[in-house]
């Protein structure tokens, strides 16, 4: 019998799923070694005890009387030390192999294909470097190392692909990474392995490995934004609702919405005065109110002004703006907010000609009420290069960064649309 047959048979006996990643086979070999030793060890001890119990059973001896002194002998210390040393050596061998594998599994090679993964109750979202997005299904190329950069919107989730023997907790407020290489095309189940609320068990997704040509074609077709049905509750995203022909950043979407809805007829983007307040430098500024007082122009204020312009009217402007309540969909509001936020550094007339600033990505609605530093965005590209720190080892966002992401009772603006532009 050749070794492959034996391991295949063992794999079946141990109910192990298919080995679909580059590390699965070696992890399974250690698994078999460890479990076989465990079975032999426990069966051996059990058998030994059983034999002793039967061999030395009570046979009518008067137990109240003293027994022969030689029955009371103790085991010499060297036996105990030998057992301890032998077992420790065995366990240490497991550790050496297992720790080596662990380090290999945890430290990604350079030149990976990176996918940004967001977990939220109760779905998985994927953003690709070229601006594609998908929900509940991730597409990756075969035969190439893929690195997932994972974070969570709300509570801890865990990204588990049984066929790959890989799992990584997905933690709000920090990034973790998981890399793998799938040698051949196929479909694999993704399960959430950390309890995350009522629908934890439906937080499943699919990992699709495509051959190099199929993957290139998939990227070309640009249909990554079309979501696929999943057992999880589907939530609309900006990408699906607006259905852009190409993936767009939120800021560019905001431009389109502003033009479409006629915002630009009254508001300017470059600081020049017009019928309404200019959007340049508006975000985070103190707004003098008609009738006294002032307010900070944060997401809450800006959204309110779109929906109910008279509620807190900017002093010095005519009360002519109509309400956009019911006319703007939530993703459009989000896009407008992103546009306005991106213009916060644009000052007065200094800018002759509107050139869209580099899409500075701000945390989604995370900084309500506080003027913020440009802070660590969702799915910000990780610094590349050999010396770049891995986000997983950083733990918390760098100093000055806002704690991210927003969690309860805040506008779910999402930064899903942001990624594409930065890479172009």
Partner 1 sequence: MSAEPATEVVAAPLPNYLEAESGVASWLNTRDHKRIALLFYVSVLSMFALGGVFALALRTELLTPERTVMDAMTYNRMFTLHGVTMVWLFLIPSIPTVFGNFILPMQLGARDLAFPKLNLISWYLYVLGAIVTIAGMFAGGTDTGWTFYTPYSDSTPTRVVPVVIGIFILGISSIFTGLNFIISVHTLRARGMKWSTMPLFTWAIYGTSIMLVLATPVLGMALALVGLDHALALGIFDPSVGGDPVLFQHIFWFYSHPAVYIMILPAMGVISEMVPTLSHRRPASYTAIVVSTIGIAVVGFLTWGHHLFTAGISELDAGFFGVLSMFVAVFSAIKVFTWTLTLRRGSILITTPILYFFSFLFLFVFGGMTGVALATQSLDIHWQDTYFIVAHFHFIMVGGSVTAFLGAAHYWFPKMFGRMYNERVGTVGAIAVFMGFCLTFIPQFLLGNLGMPRRYYSYPAHFQWLHVLSTGGAFLLGGALLLTLTNLLFALKWGPRAGDNPWASRSFEWLTTSPPPKHNFATTPRLDYDPYDYSLSEEECRARALAR
Burial 299-321 (b: 16+ CB within 10 A, else e): bebbbebbeebeebbbeebeeeb
Question: Rg of the chain over CA atoms, in angstroms?
Answer: 30
Q: How far is the CB of 265 from partner 1 (least distance, A)?
A: 38
Between CA 421 and CA 131 the distance in angstroms is 7
302 forms part of the interface with partner 1 (CB under 8 A): no
Nearer to partner 1, 38 or 260 (CB): 38
Angle, CA 399 vertex, CA 396 and CA 401 arms, to 5°: 80
As a dihedral over the C-alpha atoms of residue 153, residue 158, residue 161, residue 167, rounded to 10 degrees, the angle is 120
Q: Measured from the CB atom, is 23 or 300 closer to partner 1?
A: 23
Q: Is 5 exposed, middle or buried (0-12, 13-18, 19+ CB in 10 A)?
A: exposed
For partner 1 (CB under 8 A), the number of binding residues is: 104
Please identify which residue in 131, 141, 172, 247 interacts with partner 1, judged by CB under 8 A. Answer: 172
Q: Is 36 in the site for partner 1 (CB under 8 A)?
A: no
Residue 386: CB atoms within 10 A of its CB come to 5
User: Helices 24-55 and 77-106 sit at what angle, rounded to 10 degrees?
Assistant: 160
Nearer to partner 1, 158 or 305 (CB): 158
The correct pick among 6, 25, 84, 325 for binding partner 1 (CB under 8 A) is 84
Q: Which of residues 395-424 bind partner 1 (CB under 8 A)?
A: 395-396, 403-408
- The candidate with the shortest Cα–Cα distance to 404, out of 349, 369, 366, 365, is 366
Burial 38-51 (b: 16+ CB within 10 A, else e): eeeeeeeeeeeeee
Q: Which is nearer to partner 1, 9 or 94 (CB)?
A: 94
Q: Which of 25, 83, 259, 310 binds partner 1 (CB under 8 A)?
A: 83
Per CB under 8 A, the list member of 7, 183, 186, 191 interacting with partner 1 is 191
Q: Which stretch binds partner 1 (CB under 8 A): 104-112, 135-143, 272-280, 376-384?
A: 104-112
Q: Of 160 and 301, which has the nearer Cβ to partner 1?
A: 160
Question: How would you class 387 by CB atoms within 10 Å of its CB: exposed for 0-12, middle for 13-18, buried for 19 or more?
Answer: exposed
- Member of 6, 35, 216, 325 binding partner 1 (CB under 8 A): 35
Tokens of 401: 């960064």
User: Which of 257, 245, 238 minimizes the C-alpha distance to 135?
Assistant: 238
Contact range with partner 1 by CB under 8 A, out of 170-178, 263-271, 337-345, 351-359: 170-178
Select 249 or 380, whichever has its Cβ closest to partner 1: 380
151/303 with CB nearer partner 1 = 151
Considering the complex, state which of residue 27 and residue 208 has its C-beta at the smaller distance from partner 1.
Answer: 27
The piece of 92-100, 269-277, 299-307, 353-361 that touches partner 1 (CB under 8 A) is 92-100
Residue 156 near residue 167 (C-beta atoms within 8 A): no
User: Cβ(350)–Cβ(278) under 8 Å?
Assistant: no
Binding segment for partner 1 (CB under 8 A), chosen from 95-103, 211-219, 241-249, 330-338, is 95-103
Q: Is 9 in the site for partner 1 (CB under 8 A)?
A: no
25 binds partner 1 (CB under 8 A): no
Rounded least distance, CB 114 to partner 1, Å? 17
* Only segment of 66-74, 216-224, 245-253, 332-340 that touches partner 1 (CB under 8 A): 66-74
Residue from 2, 3, 4, 71 that binds partner 1 (CB under 8 A)?
71
Tokens of 386: 């050999």
Q: Does 229 bind partner 1 (CB under 8 A)?
A: no
Binders of partner 1 among 343-382, rule CB under 8 A? 366
């Amino acid at each position: 019998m050749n070794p492959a047959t034996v391991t295949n048979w063992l794999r079946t006996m141990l109910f192990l799923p298919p080995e679909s990643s580059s590390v699965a086979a070696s992890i399974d070999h250690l698994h078999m070694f460890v479990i076989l030793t465990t079975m032999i060890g426990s069966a051996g001890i059990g058998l030994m005890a059983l034999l002793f119990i039967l061999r030395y059973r009570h046979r009518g001896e008067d137990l109240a009387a003293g027994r022969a002194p030689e029955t009371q002998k103790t085991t010499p210390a060297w036996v105990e030390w030998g057992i301890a040393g032998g077992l420790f050596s065995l366990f240490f061998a497991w550790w050496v192999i297992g720790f080596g594998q662990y380090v290999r599994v945890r430290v990604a090679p350079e030149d990976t294909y990176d996918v940004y993964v967001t977990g939220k109750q109760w779905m998985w979202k994927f953003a690709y470097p070229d601006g594609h997005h998908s929900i509940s299904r991730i597409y990756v190329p075969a035969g190439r190392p893929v690195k997932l950069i994972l974070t969570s919107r709300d509570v801890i989730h865990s990204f588990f692909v049984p066929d790959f023997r890989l799992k990584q907790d997905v933690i709000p407020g920090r990034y973790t990474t998981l890399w793998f290489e799938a040698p051949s095309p196929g479909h694999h189940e993704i399960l959430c392995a950390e309890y995350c609320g009522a629908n934890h068990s439906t937080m499943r997704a699919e990992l699709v490995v495509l051959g190099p040509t199929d993957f290139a074609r998939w990227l070309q077709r640009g249909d990554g934004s079309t979501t696929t049905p999943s057992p999880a509750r589907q939530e609309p995203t900006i990408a699906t609702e607006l259905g852009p022909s190409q993936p767009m950043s939120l800021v560019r979407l905001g431009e389109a919405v502003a033009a479409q809805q006629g915002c630009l007829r009254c508001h300017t983007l470059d600081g020049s005065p017009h019928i309404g307040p200019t959007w340049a430098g508006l975000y985070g500024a103190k707004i003098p109110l008609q009738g006294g007082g002032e307010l900070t122009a944060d997401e809450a204020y800006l959204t309110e002004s779109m929906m109910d312009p008279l509620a807190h009217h900017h002093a010095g402007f005519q009360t002519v703006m109509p309400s956009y309540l019911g006319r703007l969909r939530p993703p459009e509001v989000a896009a407008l907010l992103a546009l306005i936020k991106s213009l916060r550094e644009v000052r007065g007339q200094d800018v002759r000609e509107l050139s869209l600033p580099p899409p500075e990505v701000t945390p989604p609605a995370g900084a309500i009420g506080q003027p913020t530093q440009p802070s660590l965005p969702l799915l910000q590209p990780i610094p590349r290069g050999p010396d770049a720190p891995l986000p997983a080892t950083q733990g918390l966002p760098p100093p000055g960064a806002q704690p991210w992401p927003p969690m309860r009772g805040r506008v779910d603006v999402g930064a899903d649309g942001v990624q594409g532009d930065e890479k172009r």
